[in-house]
Amino acid sequence: MIFNSIDFILFFLVITTLFFFSKPKYRWTLLLAASYFFYMYWKWEFIFLIIFSTLIDYYCGMQMSGKDQKRERLPYFLISLFSNLGLLFLFKYLDFFTQSTNVLLGTAIPMANLILPMGISFYTFQTLSYSIEIYQSKSKCEPHLGKFALYVSFFPQLVAGPIERASHLLPQFQTNENRLRYHNVVSGLTQVVLGFFKKVVIADTIAIYVNSIYGTYELYTGFTLLFATYLFAIQIYCDFSGYSDIAIGCSRILGYDLMENFKQPYFSKSVTEFWRRWHISLSTWLRDYLYISLGGNRKGKLFTYRNLMLTMLLGGLWHGSSWNFVIWGLLNGIYLAVEKRTNFNRWITEQSRAIQLLSMVMIFHLICLTWVFFRAETFAKTIGILEGIFTTEYFFNLQIKDTGVFATLLITTVSFFLLEIFILRNINIKNLDQQLGTWKLTGLKVTMCLFILLFGVSEGSQFIYFQF
């Protein structure tokens, strides 16, 4: 079941109605059943993987909570670590490493060809963060199995995040005394509409053009390929942040608070700032549990650069079992290491607004370079696209086959920039109703709904990050 479908809208209306009419002590049961149904709607067999991860981490958490010494907690932490990473490796990376081994060693090891369970990277990292924090004595275990299971599988953020910490989300499930509040409904509904606007009006419309160009890149000039890359940067942002907006908005209507996952990343003046604004729940996860565990910046400059590179390499691999994702992570690691070495972040904050604006443009292009690796299916296709972009012959010949699609692209892209720059840039969306006022907010929602009806792609395409 995907958010941009009639099925989900009806599902959410039914669950919300039952939630507020049910007794508080039964609400966790309703939400857990709804979450399992939500996931099983896609492929019912894979619910057993979530249940397995839940039981393993619940057991390990309970065992660790009764141990005072870290060495006593270590065996149970390792059980949790290897169980979760083992599942992730089996379903996501086994064929990748098998294929790489066959190429490097000339072997003929057969491929497993297992179906990748939707959202496995997200709920695996979520349960791992729970075990890590208990092992490090930063959090207490959750003794209630049902509420812990709900933390692992809460349906709004189950398949594409945000990756929530137990210390933030679990306490919200312990009371279940949420009331139907006007502010939560207005604020949450506004964010849901914004998410749908980003997804079906902007991301899915742009996807038609990007898929066409990247699918037959040999036929296009450099500027056309570059233009498609710019569009993909907007597409992936609107697709993923649109999902996050819908997840956060739906949760807020129910009375639950999820962490913010995007803060207008393309306004960043450095790559470091970009990663503080992009996929925040993953970037902070990698920072807290991987970069700092490797030593962070505590052991000198060379170790700092190494830790940055390893963190981003593994972050790239988290996104998918492909060398393109590894290179994508490597490029981001190089960017971060160079900024660290040159102290670029401090330097840019002291510069004039004109210099900072130029820096934004430069950072956007550096990020777009990495998006080519992210979007292209193979390394060979990536090289072909990059060669096409950097070919000067007929570079400025923008090839447009369907003027209708291009006109829609123009309208939706301009509306995206107007929304980002003039409405959302300096506003906390949780308090949008208070900051804009009733009439402006109503006008904004009506306008976005009209755009959804007039320009929205109605096929209900899957969100990009569902594949991760």
Catalytic residue among 144, 183, 279, 319: 319
Q: The tokens 């709900």 sit on which residue?
A: 150
Q: The tokens 């190089």 sit on which residue?
A: 334
Q: What is the DSSP letter of 350?
A: T
Burial class (CB in 10 A: 0-12, 13-18, 19+), 397: exposed
**DSSP secondary structure string, 283-294?**
HHHHIIIIITTT
Tokens of 150: 């709900």
Q: The tokens 């907007």 sit on which residue?
A: 234
Distance of alpha carbon 80 from alpha carbon 133, whole angstroms: 12
Distance of alpha carbon 411 from alpha carbon 1, whole angstroms: 29
- Greatest Cα pair distance, the chain, in angstroms, is 69
Q: Is 319 a catalytic residue?
A: yes
Tokens of 165: 């910490």
Q: If residue 368 lies in a helix (H) or strand (E), which one and from where to where? A: helix 353-375
Residues contacting residue 6 through CB under 8 Å, at least 6 positions apart: none
**C-beta of residue 220 within 8 angstroms of C-beta of residue 230:** no
Active site residues: 319
